[in-house]
Amino acid sequence: MADDLREILDVARLNLPDVPPEMWARLERAIRQNFGAQRVYIASQKKGRHLAVLESSPENDAAKIAAMLGVTVQHARRLKKLR
C-alpha cells in the first residue's frame, strides 16, 4: 500500500493545492494507522458519474441516454428514475 498510497496522495495534492502540507501528513498517518498492510479497493463510482451527466443533459429518451453513457437501455431507465 505504501507506493499506492503515495501515488494517490500525489494526485490529491496536485488537485488540491490549497491544502497545507501538514494536513497531508496527518491524512497519510491516519490512513497508515487504520489501513496499514491492507490492499484497499477504490471503486470507480460509475453511477455517480452517469447521474452527473444526466443532470446536465436535457435528453429524456432511454435509448439515447443508453447510447450516450454506453450502458444498456434497462440501466438507462434505472438511472432516469434516480435523477
Per residue in 29-68, pLDDT (tens digit) is 999 999 888 887 887 788 888 999 888 888 889 999 999 9
Closest to 8 measured CA to CA, from 32, 18, 72: 32
Mean pLDDT rounded to a whole number for the chain? 89
Query: Structural domain boundaries of the chain?
Result: 2-35, 46-82
What is the per-residue pLDDT for 82?
Answer: 86
- Tell me the DSSP string of 31-61: HHHHHTT-PPP----HHHHHHHHHHT-----
